[in-house]
Amino acid sequence: MATPLTDKKKQVVLTGNSAVAYAMKQIDPDVCAAYPITPSTAIMEEFSSYYADGKVSTELVTVESEHSAMSACVGAAAAGARVMTATSSQGLALMWEVLYIASGMRLPVVMAVVNRALSAPINIHCDHSDSMGARDSGWIQIYSETVQEAYDNLFQAVRIAEDHRVLTPAMVCLDGFITSHAIENLTLIEDGDVKDFVGEFEPKQSLLDTGHPITMGAMTLPEYYIDFKYEQSKAIRGAKEVVIEVGREFGERFGREYGLMECYRLDDADVAIVVLSSAAGTTKVAVDRLRDQGKKVGLLRPRLYRPFPHEEIASALMGVKAVCVLDRADSMSGFGGPLFTDVRSALYGRDSAPKVIGRIFGLGGRDYKVEDAEAVFDELYNVLETGEAGKLTGYITI
Amino acid sequence: MKKDCEEKKEVPLGGVIHKAGNAHDYVTGGWRKLRPVLDKDKCTNCLICWVMCPDSAVIAEDGKMVGFDLEHCKGCGICAMECPDKVKAITMEEEEA
Ligand code: SF4
Ligand code: SF4
């Protein structure tokens, strides 16, 4: 249970789940739907304690499945409410159908996704198969490296999703167990400052606005369907600018600025790893070790994955000679993981683009150690020396 | 002149319909293959067909069954099926091509 041990600098120690639950308490959304699934269970469990103690004014809907959880979110958001929920793995898989309805109806639901492998075989530990499968569902996806970032991202996601230029649901992803259950130091924001930052949700249209009756979720035939999708596509593409704006404003207010990605010792790097979420922390240790040996290695950690900031990521990698994209999910396409294909296609067609290889790692919670990152850098140096990408895709940590 | 590929229709946010009752503008009668035909002499005006028609295409006036709204009747035949066995005042006839 999160009773933060506040000291003068507001530094506390919390698990990722507790930090997310605490952020939700501070946001105090109008409606939350709750259905438990490991490893995200503690988020809604702790939030329901806040609810039971009268700490939030939220309407908490306990439902019978994740399909119902997302359906309840859609209904409440259509009625004009600020809506949040949390899930993982099979839970997200069960929401699938309704994810597309939330995004197509342009309902700014915000959901914490605690990344976990998908069955079969059944496994409760971290990988990104769940949210990567939902990468084309029209949701904004933001990946968090640390507990602090998961906490900070939640507030920003509310602002981004609800922005009238965007009106698109958003997932804030954090790594199952590695981030959700590990205790880290973080700085909390005062309740009043959170309220100021997230503001009130002003829906553009609402079912409960009886002065302007509307029909939502109606059928659309070939005369119009593609036109709606065009508008939706434009909105999520435009979300990129809003992510930058909101990340900058967050930095001005609270001293921690966020952008589309994090570049770590990348400026003069010859070789680089691209990886999402907590594995970036491990990779940074390897980068520092190799830098101490005089090797020019670096890291790029995308923070925003949907919409995919293809221009910015490609530009950031243009000075690098060889890149390995690490995916904690296999798209089973026979051509590596989703981040690999996205990064590689972003670079395609640019003159003197780096050689790009992809490796799948850490599925189902398999450890990714500093030595694993170092081995990847070794392989990249080999690519540099031979001038050949060699094996384009493959697995590591097996 | 080159047509702009991104020239497009204005559409309401999220597929919302702002005008009440505009389903009326959608003429579902064009789908019809079989047309309901009423035998007024047999009809007892029980209005079961009016209750059962899924498209509100049975027209009733002053408590009496007066015919069909053929702009919206899809020709499903539910009215003919539901008209009581002892009456059977509706028959479904092939639409002319
Ligand atoms: S055929 Fe079907 S749609 Fe037409 S009037 Fe009868 S019940 Fe209604
Ligand atoms: S169900 Fe048959 S008898 Fe009754 S009103 Fe309709 S046509 Fe007439």
Q: Which of A202, A235, A254 is the last residue of a domain?
A: A254
Residue A1 lies in a domain: no
Instruction: Give the Å distance between the CA of B44 and the centre of ligand 2.
Output: 6
Residue tagged 């205790």 (tokens): A183
Query: What pLDDT score was predicted for residue A1?
Result: 43
Do A211 and A287 share a structural domain? no
CATH number of the domain at A382, please. 3.40.50.920
Residue A76 lies in a domain: yes
Residues of B in contact with A228 (CB under 8 A): 11, 14-15
Give the percent of chain A with pLDDT over 70: 98
- Domains recognised in chain B with CATH numbers: 34-97 (3.30.70.20)
Residue of A nearest to B18 (CA): A214
- C-beta of B82 in contact with ligand 1 (< 6 A): no
Do A267 and A249 share a structural domain? no
Q: What value does the mean pLDDT of chain A take?
A: 96
Whether A47 shows a pLDDT value over 70: the answer reads: yes
Whether B16 shows a pLDDT value over 90: the answer reads: yes
Residue A3 lies in a domain: no
Do A100 and A186 share a structural domain? yes
Query: What pLDDT score was predicted for residue B21?
Result: 83
The band of A272, judged by pLDDT with boundaries at 50, 70 and 90, is very high
Question: Could you read off the pLDDT of A369-398 as tens digits, one per residue?
Answer: 999 999 999 999 999 999 999 899 999 999
Residue A228 distance to chain B (closest CA, Å): 7
Select from B93, B86, B89, B91 the least CA-distant residue to B42: B89
CATH number of the domain at A28, please. 3.40.50.970
Side-chain half-sphere of A53: how many Cα atoms within 13 Å?
11
Q: Which of A201, A224, A254 is the last residue of a domain?
A: A254
Query: What pLDDT score was predicted for residue B10?
Result: 84
- Least reliable range by pLDDT among A64-68, A358-362, B13-17: B13-17
Better-predicted residue by pLDDT, B24 or A169: A169
DSSP string, A207-229: TT-TTS--B-S----TTTHHHHH
Whether A9 shows a pLDDT value over 80: the answer reads: no
Q: Are A175 and A278 within 8 A, CB to CB?
A: yes
A102 lies within 8 A of chain B by CB: no
Mean pLDDT over A1-11 rounds to 55
A294: containing domain: 262-395
- C-beta of B45 in contact with ligand 2 (< 6 A): yes
Residue B71 distance to chain A (closest CA, Å): 19
Query: What pLDDT score was predicted for residue B5?
Result: 60
Do A238 and A89 share a structural domain? yes
Residue A93 lies in a domain: yes
Question: Could you read off the pLDDT of A298-318 as tens digits, one per residue?
Answer: 999 999 999 999 999 999 999
Residue A85 lies in a domain: yes
β partners of residue A98: none
Question: Could you read off the pLDDT of A327-352 as tens digits, one per residue?
Answer: 999 999 999 999 999 999 999 999 99
Query: What pLDDT score was predicted for residue A332?
Result: 97
The band of A6, judged by pLDDT with boundaries at 50, 70 and 90, is very low
Question: What is the spatial distance between Cα A24 and Cα A50, in angstroms, rounded to a whole number?
Answer: 10
Whether B7 shows a pLDDT value over 70: the answer reads: no
For residue B87, give the ligand 2 atom closest to its CA.
Answer: 3
pTM for this structure? 0.92
Do A274 and A190 share a structural domain? no
Question: What is the spatial distance between Cα A95 and Cα A91, in angstroms, rounded to a whole number?
Answer: 6
Residue A5 lies in a domain: no
Question: What is the spatial distance between Cα A215 and Cα A217, in angstroms, rounded to a whole number?
Answer: 7
Whether A293 shows a pLDDT value over 60: the answer reads: yes
The band of A3, judged by pLDDT with boundaries at 50, 70 and 90, is very low
Residue A21 lies in a domain: yes
Structural domain total, chain A: 2
Residue A390 lies in a domain: yes
B97 lies within 8 A of chain A by CB: no
Do A181 and A107 share a structural domain? yes
The two tokens of residue A164 are 């009238």
Closest in A106, A213, A224 to B14, CB measured: A106
Q: Which residues of B32-71 are buried (b: 16+ CB within 10 A; e: fewer)?
A: bebbbebeeeebeeeebbbeebebebbeeeeeebeebeee
Whether A8 shows a pLDDT value over 90: the answer reads: no
Q: What single-letter amino acid sits at A318?
A: M
Whether A99 shows a pLDDT value over 90: the answer reads: yes
Question: What is the spatial distance between Cα A104 and Cα B37, in angstroms, rounded to a whole number?
Answer: 42
Q: Which of A254, A279, A297 is the last residue of a domain?
A: A254
Do A233 and A349 share a structural domain? no
Query: What pLDDT score was predicted for residue B4?
Result: 57
Mean pLDDT over B78-97 rounds to 95
The band of B96, judged by pLDDT with boundaries at 50, 70 and 90, is confident
Residue B61 distance to chain A (closest CA, Å): 29
Query: What pLDDT score was predicted for residue B9?
Result: 75
For residue B52, give the ligand 1 atom closest to its CA.
Answer: 7
Whether residue B14 and residue A214 make contact (CB cut-off 8 A), yes or no, is: no
Which ligand has an atom closest to residue B82 CA?
2
Please state the φ and ψ torsions of residue A341, each to the nearest 5 degrees: -65, -35
Do A153 and A55 share a structural domain? yes
Do A332 and A198 share a structural domain? no
Question: Could you read off the pLDDT of A117-128 as tens digits, one per residue?
Answer: 999 999 999 999
Do A339 and A319 share a structural domain? yes
Give the percent of chain A with pLDDT over 90: 96
For residue A99, give every residue at least 6 positions away whose Cβ sits within 8 Å of its Cβ, in sequence order, or none: A70, A92, A134, A137, A138, A139, A169
Do A285 and A231 share a structural domain? no
Do A20 and A123 share a structural domain? yes
